[in-house]
Amino acid sequence: MSEAFPATPNDHDHDHGAGARDGTPIDADADADAHADALRLPGQALRSRFFLGSAGYPSPQVLDQAIRASGTQVLTVGLKRTLRAGDNGAIAQALATAQAQGARLLPNTAGCRSAREAVQLAQMARELYGTAWIKLEVIGDDHTLQPDPFELLSAATELARDGFTVFPYCTEDLILCRRLLDAGCPLLMPWGAPIGSGQGLLNLHGLRTLRERLPDTVLVIDAGLGAPSQAARAMELGFDAVLLNSAVAQARDPVAMAAAFRDAVSAGRTAFRAGLMAPQDVAVASTPVSGHAFLLGAD
C-alpha cells in the first residue's frame, strides 16, 4: 500500500523547509508526527480524518469553498442522486477542487434498497469515475434509514470478490461488523445516529464495545453527527475518522462549519493520542497540600 501523502493546502505553504508563507518556521518534528499518524486506507495514506459529503449545499460555489475549508481528502458523491437530477457541472467542479488538495472520490450507493441494486450502481460508479472505492449503503427502513444487514452483507461479499474496496455503512452491531470484515471489507463505517438527524453518538456503549473488540480495524463514524463537539467526541473515543454531510451543508454558514468540524476532528484525535484522564466518582484535588508547609491568615 502506498504511503505517499496526497497534497493538502498546508503542504504548499512552505518553501523547501525555509518556513511558511506567514514566516512561521516549519516544524519538522510535527510533520514527521503527522506522517506517523496518517490514516492508512487501501492504496492511500491520509492526513485528514474528516470525510465530507457533497449533497444539499446552497450552491456549487459554497460546496467548493466548504471542500477547501474542510481540508478533506475523501469526498463522497451520491451517484443515484446525480444520475436522476443531473448536476450541471457541479460535481465536476467539486471533484476538481477536491483533487487539487489531494482528495479521493468515494462514490456511494445511497438510495439503494437491495443488494442487486447496490451492486449494479457500484459497477456503474467504477466505470464513470475510474475508482474501485465504493461507500456501500443498502437501506432497510425508510423512517430511520437504517441499513439492511442481510442485503448489505450480500452486496459487500459480491463487491469485494469483484475487486471493489468496500466502505460499508452499517450499525454498531458487533456480529454484523465481523461478518463484513470476513466478507472482505477493509474498514467499517458504523452510524452515530440516523442519517441527517444530528443527534450525535446515540449508543455510546455499543460504539465503545465495537472499538474495544476491533482494535485493529479502521472505524469511521458515518451519519448522525450534528455538531463539531460530537465529532471531537467520536475521535476521543478512538474512532479513526468521521464522515458527515448535512451538518455542514445545512449550516447557516457551511464554509465556517466545515472549518469548525475540521478543527474538532483534529482536536479529538490529538486528545485521544495524548490520553484522556480517567473519570473519577469523587473529587480529586489537583493541588494536594499534604506534607507541604503553608501559611494560614498571612497578611
Q: Which residues are known catalytic residues?
A: 135
List CB contacts of 93: < 8 A, sequence separation 6 or more: 60, 63, 64
Looking up cell 467539486 gives 94
What is the 3-class SS of 156-187, one letter each residue?
HHHHHHCCCEEEEEECCCHHHHHHHHHCCCCE
Closest CA to 158 of 118, 108, 113: 118
- For the chain, the residue count is 299
Q: Which amino acid is at 205?
A: H
3-state secondary structure of 101: coil
Number of Cβ atoms within 10 Å of the Cβ of 108: 28
